[in-house]
Amino acid sequence: MTARWRLGLFAGAVLILTAAAGVIAAHMPAFGVPASHYGPAVNAIIPAARHATNMVAAVNFDVRGLDTLGEECILVCAATGAVVLLRGARGESISADAGRVPGRAVLRRTDATVILCRIAVSLTLVYGIYMALHGTITPGGGFQGGVVIASGLMLVYLGDGYALWRRMVPSVAMALLEGGGAFLFVAAAAIPLALGGDALANMLPLGQPKDLFSGGLIMLANDCVALSVTGSFGLLLLEFMEETRSPAEDPVPDEEDP
């Protein structure tokens, strides 16, 4: 298919899409008026029933907890698939040396970069952990906190270089976090099931509203997800960085096309 044909096909698709979007937009529920009873019901019932104040986290980890379990599995599968694809072509061996472009000068980092990154790493990690732990009561949660922690780890690379980053963030630890977090989440769903209740039934003490230890299972599930997301994203960043090394340093078994 040539570019001209493809553009023609796209123009046809846009015509249909425009007509359909116009009709659908005219028939959508009025903007700014609650369209379903589900959300308002959650807002009315859950704060008293679960002692949680962050309704988004309560929906994710309590009301629709099973859906989040599926989402967590999608995340773990996608991260594992990405790692397998990268390692399959590169081999298992990993090295603590960064890739070098031949002929490009290696500049020393300035002291300001190092000190700023070290300060920023500690602040980012603390903020990420705070965000994950307080997911039940204030905006945030396991997914957001995990991503903040994983990106904080990249600052170690920026400030202290590849070798120290690889020593501080071993891929085995990231893999254990990823799998362990997901396993704990599955266990949190399965244990109430084994005790004769429903999956992810909130059987833990609910605590006081607005307290760190409130919401029962919501906080626990949040923290499992935070561990798993930290591991997944840490592992992904690490494997992508391994790609920057030139293939000559690490000969690939010959399975290329002839």
Name residue 48's amino acid: A
Under a CB-based contact definition with an 8 Å cutoff, are residues 197 and 203 in contact? Answer: yes
What binding mask, one character per residue, do residues 68-107 give for other proteins by CB under 8 A, x or -? x--x--xx--xx-xx--xx--x------------------
Give the CA diameter of the chain.
67
How is residue 21 written in tokens? Answer: 């979007």
**Is 212 near other proteins (CB under 8 A)?**
no
Under a CB-based contact definition with an 8 Å cutoff, are residues 61 and 218 in contact? Answer: yes
- Shortest gap between Cβ of 31 and other proteins (angstroms)? 4
Cβ nearer to other proteins, comparing 80 with 204: 80
What binding mask, one character per residue, do residues 27-66 give for other proteins by CB under 8 A, x or -? -xxxxxxxxx-xxx-xxx--xx----xxxx-xxx--xx--
How is residue 37 written in tokens? Answer: 């009873």
Name which position in 93, 95, 113, 138 contacts other proteins (CB under 8 A).
138
- Shortest gap between Cβ of 78 and other proteins (angstroms)? 4
DSSP string, 169-194: S-HHHHHHHHHHHHHHHHHHHHHHHH
**Is 224 near other proteins (CB under 8 A)?**
no
**Is 250 near other proteins (CB under 8 A)?**
no
**Is 197 near other proteins (CB under 8 A)?**
no
Under a CB-based contact definition with an 8 Å cutoff, are residues 137 and 212 in contact? Answer: yes
Side-chain-facing half-sphere of 211: CA atoms under 13 Å: 11
- Shortest gap between Cβ of 216 and other proteins (angstroms)? 17
Give the integer Cα–Cα distance in Å for 90 and 80: 15
Give the integer Cα–Cα distance in Å for 35 and 40: 10
Under a CB-based contact definition with an 8 Å cutoff, are residues 247 and 253 in contact? Answer: no
**Is 109 near other proteins (CB under 8 A)?**
no
Cβ nearer to other proteins, comparing 96 with 240: 240
Distances, alpha carbon 38 to alpha carbons 46, 64, 189, 249, in Å = 12, 12, 23, 57
Taking contact as CB under 8 A, which single stretch among the options 8-16, 98-106, 122-130, 154-162 is the one that binds other proteins?
8-16
Interacting residue ranges for other proteins, rule: CB under 8 A:
3, 6-7, 9-10, 13-14, 17-18, 21, 24-26, 28-36, 38-40, 42-44, 47-48, 53-56, 58-60, 63-64, 67-68, 71, 74-75, 78-79, 81-82, 85-86, 89, 137-139, 141, 143, 147, 210, 229, 232, 236, 240, 243, 256-257
